[in-house]
């Protein structure tokens, strides 16, 4: 494929070509890289759960009971009782009516957004929303509009201009924005949604396990339980395993089990992953030890970076961007 060779060579000439780094052991605070032990500042394993003994034991127990794979999609015979337990565990933890788990956070956004909207609807999205939201919106038949990052006047302007032309309007935002670490103005978004009879959709991939009581997320952080229609989360970041989920009403769960394409055409989550995830939520319920340590470490890290003169933006969360200012130099720096 010579045309791809040309594209790859162009990346190299622009200094944008990358070689996949190889971690020679588990994802921990210190990893083995190129034969050396180095401090890991690049993972999203917020709470250190990815190699936690309790999660590993839970995964092993699930393998011994259920085997390696689910063997089918959830709508045929791949829906095991451990998947049902996982859905209920997350719903209870998030203080929501129902939950359904997907194979990944990306698959969740890609599947949910297109399932809950159609050609008569409008999606309004923050300009800095995650790539999986952007792709999910592209897969939808709905019309779309984008407002400047966290600009509530801009959001209201779109609502005021366009609301009456559509059957449903869905406002989508990240809970915590993954590049800069700032938190969505969720109370203002919910207020506008109520004013203009719109639905709300929060991707809390970087808020779950980090913000709120015991890591319950951005919705809990702002005490907005029952006021956000769709709460998305990932199970690969703070939870340390793999997967995604959506919490909301029982009706939303029922609809997604019929129209959520990743659930319908892709094999269900491995039982080992489900078992480990359930254990992770039990650990968050038991103690704030892990979230407390995360925040203590983040505050210390930011303080020291500032002391050394680094520009770390205006993060409100443990996400700590370091502003380099040049893409090629950033790749080299990392």
Q: How confident is the model at residue 72 (pLDDT cuts 50, 70, 90)?
A: very high
Catalytic residue among 52, 83, 130, 206: 206
CA separation (Å) from 246 to 70, 94, 110, 128, 294? 20, 10, 12, 20, 25
Q: Using the Cα atoms of residue 236, residue 239, residue 243 and residue 249 in order, give the sign of their dihedral.
A: negative
Rounded to whole angstroms, the Cα distance separating 110 from 262 reads 8
CA dihedral 67, 70, 71, 77 (to 10 degrees): 120
Q: What is the mean pLDDT of residues 50-72?
A: 97
248, 196, 204: which is closest to 226 by C-alpha?
248
65, 59, 204, 238: which is closest to 130 by C-alpha?
204
Percent of the chain with pLDDT over 90: 87
Q: How confident is the model at residue 334 (pLDDT cuts 50, 70, 90)?
A: low
Q: What is the mean pLDDT of residues 4-27?
A: 91
Q: Give the SS3 label for residue 178.
A: coil
Q: How confident is the model at residue 330 (pLDDT cuts 50, 70, 90)?
A: confident
Rounded to whole angstroms, the Cα distance separating 191 from 20 reads 44
Q: How confident is the model at residue 328 (pLDDT cuts 50, 70, 90)?
A: confident
Q: Give the SS3 label for residue 244.
A: strand
Q: What is the mean pLDDT of residues 66-82?
A: 95
Q: How confident is the model at residue 314 (pLDDT cuts 50, 70, 90)?
A: confident
Q: Give the SS3 label for residue 124.
A: strand
282 is catalytic: no
DSSP state letters, 202-224: EE-TTTTTTSSGGG--HHHHTT-
Whether 327 has a pLDDT exceeding 80, the answer reads no
Whether 82 has a pLDDT exceeding 70, the answer reads yes
Strand order in the sheet with 169-174: 98-102, 244-248, 230-234, 199-203, 169-174, 122-126, 143-147
- E-strand ranges in 66-128 read 98-102, 122-126
Q: How confident is the model at residue 42 (pLDDT cuts 50, 70, 90)?
A: confident
237 is catalytic: yes
pLDDT the model gives residue 295:
96
Q: What is the pLDDT of residues 219-275, one digit of tens each?
A: 999 999 999 999 999 999 999 999 999 999 999 999 999 999 999 999 999 999 999
Catalytic residue among 104, 140, 150, 178: 178
Domains and CATH numbers, the chain: 1-43 (no CATH), 53-285 (3.40.640.10)
Whether 174 has a pLDDT exceeding 80, the answer reads yes
> What is the end-to-end Cα distance of the chain in Å, rounded?
30
Mean pLDDT of the chain: 95
34 is catalytic: no
Whether 218 has a pLDDT exceeding 90, the answer reads yes
238, 254, 282: which is closest to 246 by C-alpha?
254
User: How many CB atoms are closer than 10 A to CB 98?
Assistant: 18
Catalytic residue among 94, 150, 237, 315: 237
Whether 285 has a pLDDT exceeding 90, the answer reads yes
pTM of the model: 0.93
Q: What is the mean pLDDT of residues 8-32?
A: 91
Whether 122 has a pLDDT exceeding 80, the answer reads yes
Q: How confident is the model at residue 169 (pLDDT cuts 50, 70, 90)?
A: very high
């Amino acid at each position: 494929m010579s045309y791809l060779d040309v594209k790859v060579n162009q990346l190299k000439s622009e200094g944008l070509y990358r070689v996949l780094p190889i971690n020679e052991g588990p994802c921990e605070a210190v990893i083995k890289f190129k034969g050396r032990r180095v401090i890991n500042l690049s993972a999203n394993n917020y709470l250190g759960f990815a190699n936690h003994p309790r999660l590993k034991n839970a995964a092993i127990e699930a393998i011994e009971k259920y085997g390696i794979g689910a063997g089918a999609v959830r709508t045929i015979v791949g829906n095991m009782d451990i998947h049902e337990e996982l859905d209920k565990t997350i719903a209870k933890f998030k203080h929501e009516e129902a939950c359904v788990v997907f194979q990944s956070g990306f698959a969740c956004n890609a599947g949910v957004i297109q399932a809950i909207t159609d050609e008569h609807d409008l999606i309004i999205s923050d300009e800095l929303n995650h790539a999986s939201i952007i792709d999910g919106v592209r897969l939808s038949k709905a019309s779309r509009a984008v407002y400047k990052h966290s600009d509530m006047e801009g959001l209201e302007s779109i609502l005021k201009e366009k609301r009456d032309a559509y059957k449903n309007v869905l406002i989508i935002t990240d809970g915590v924005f993954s590049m800069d670490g700032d938190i969505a103005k969720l109370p203002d978004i919910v207020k506008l949604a109520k004013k203009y009879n719109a639905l709300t959709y929060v991707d809390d991939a970087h808020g779950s396990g980090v913000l709120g009581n015991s890591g319950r997320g951005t919705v809990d952080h702002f005490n907005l339980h029952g006021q956000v229609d769709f709460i998305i989360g990932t199970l690969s970041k703070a939870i340390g395993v793999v997967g995604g989920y959506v919490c909301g009403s029982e009706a939303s769960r029922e609809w997604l089990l019929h129209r959520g394409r990743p659930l319908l055409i892709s094999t269900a989550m491995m039982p080992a992953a489900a078992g480990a995830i359930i254990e992770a939520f039990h650990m968050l319920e038991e103690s704030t030890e892990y979230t407390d340590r995360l925040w203590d470490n983040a505050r210390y890290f930011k303080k020291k970076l500032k002391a050394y003169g680094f520009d770390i933006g205006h993060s409100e969360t443990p996400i700590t961007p370091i502003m380099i200012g040049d893409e090629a130099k950033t790749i080299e720096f990392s």
